[in-house]
Structure 1
């Protein structure tokens, strides 16, 4: 156990009988409360539980889109990111967090496994400068962008997109019978996901992250189908 006053981040480097009907939509019975205040507290606890379920920490996909531009299709996704307390605490103690986003196009066929058309995996770094008290984001080894508050930084971090994808990649070559059959029987789909990469955490934290649910910060992988003749296809979870 660490000594008194010692920071937990030291060593990580820079890194009754009666019953009544309840006012619920479902039809069931439960014992009446002896006092109205008890009933109110019960409903309040239920509301708090529900609010906690809705606003849970982690990464949630708000919107995903495939937009047709003059230069090709552009995939974009808006993620809502809420860091669990333990993860935010690590960030504020100079541990850099690495987030990996993936946006992709693939061809789906009932007779064969899906084939990738385009895949973009991008790593973004989120860090905290304890001297300036600012949060910083860097993607692809580029310049840092600084933010005064964590929500501002997480808002930008959650906005992910691709460069234009050539529409020719979505087509098929060849005019033979088999090529026409392939084109007719296949569809184009898109995927979007984002996660915190615990493999890039400092070694002492990696061990803790593997057994601690607070470090399991990721979105579900979202799939949607694209009609290639349409100007834009938007998906919502």
Structure 2
């Protein structure tokens, strides 16, 4: 009985080896890319909804927010971090510079009690305690009923333009952490997201608004 040998063409082995190397490199690249995104904090303003309540212009804002692992580690050691949500509103004027009507900031502070293992999110003297890290982040991500100005500052029927952003407030951090502020995993500033609105009706009980896509990132 004779045994027939099978010869594999050299180019086929080379091709198989190249394909295997390609997918291996691609797999390692994806793992590295995932690690980079996991280390990099991310923030964006997703929704802006101006409303009129009790004679005041108030804002509802939804924020996309993801902290870096370095930020979370600092929080879990009991060191608080503060996030500043800023809004600017102006009235466009074709014959001169735009008139600035509103410049306001809202500070949300996240802290962790290492003894009780509870998270706290505070705004000024008011605070809320939640059991998990994600729930604490959600309280920063959702801004509801933020009073920014009385409506008598605005004229009926006029068009107004505004912008909102969120950033990590470096001034609230310790000196040691401020030294790390230049590192990628501590750089958290969203792009400004613009919106426009005008007060409707004589009673000024409604606001007609239009939110545009985010602008190029602007850093203060």
TM-score, normalization: structure 1? 0.68
CA deviation map 1:46-103 (0-9, x unaligned):
6557767887522122211223457454322111221111111111111111111112
How far apart in 2 are the matches of 1:225 and 1:114? 14
Asked which structure has the greater CA Rg, the reply is 2
The secondary structure found in structure 2 opposite 1:112 is coil
Could you say if the C-alpha distance between residues 62 and 49 of structure 1 is closer, same or farther in structure 2, counting changes exceeding 3 Å? farther
**Residue 103 of structure 1 corresponds to which residue in structure 2?**
87
Q: Give the CA deviation at 1:154.
A: 0.6
Match of 1:195 among 156, 164, 167: 167
In structure 1, stretches of 5+ residues that fail to align are 1-17, 19-31, 173-182
Q: Residues 155 and 199 of structure 2 are in contact (CA less than 8 Å); yes or no, is this contact kept in structure 1? A: no
Q: 1:171 to 1:203 in 2, by over 3 A?
A: same
Counterpart CA distance in 2 for 1:76 and 1:51 is: 32
1:233 aligned to which of 188, 192, 209:
209
CA distance in 2: counterparts of 1:52 and 1:111, whole angstroms:
51
TM-score, normalization by structure 2: 0.73
1:146 offset after TM fit, Å? Answer: 1.1
- Which residue, out of 161, 186, 189, partners 1:215? 186
Residue 29 of structure 1: aligned partner: none
Give the 5 Å matches for 1:71-150: 71-142=55-126, 144-150=127-133
- RMSD of aligned C-alpha atoms? 3.0
Higher strand share: 2
Query: 1:157 Cα shift?
Result: 0.9
Aligned to 1:67: 51
Aligned residues: 193
| Alpha-carbon offset, residue 163 of structure 1 | 2.3
Tell me which moved more, 128-137 or 112-121: 112-121
CA apart distance, 1:37:
3.0
Would you say the 8 A contact 1:107–1:188 is kept in 2?
A: yes
- Provide the rounded CA distance (Å) in 1 between the counterparts of 2:27 and 2:50: 42
What secondary structure is seen at the aligned counterpart in 2 of 1:224? strand
Structure 2 runs not aligned, ≥5 long: 1-10, 201-205, 215-220
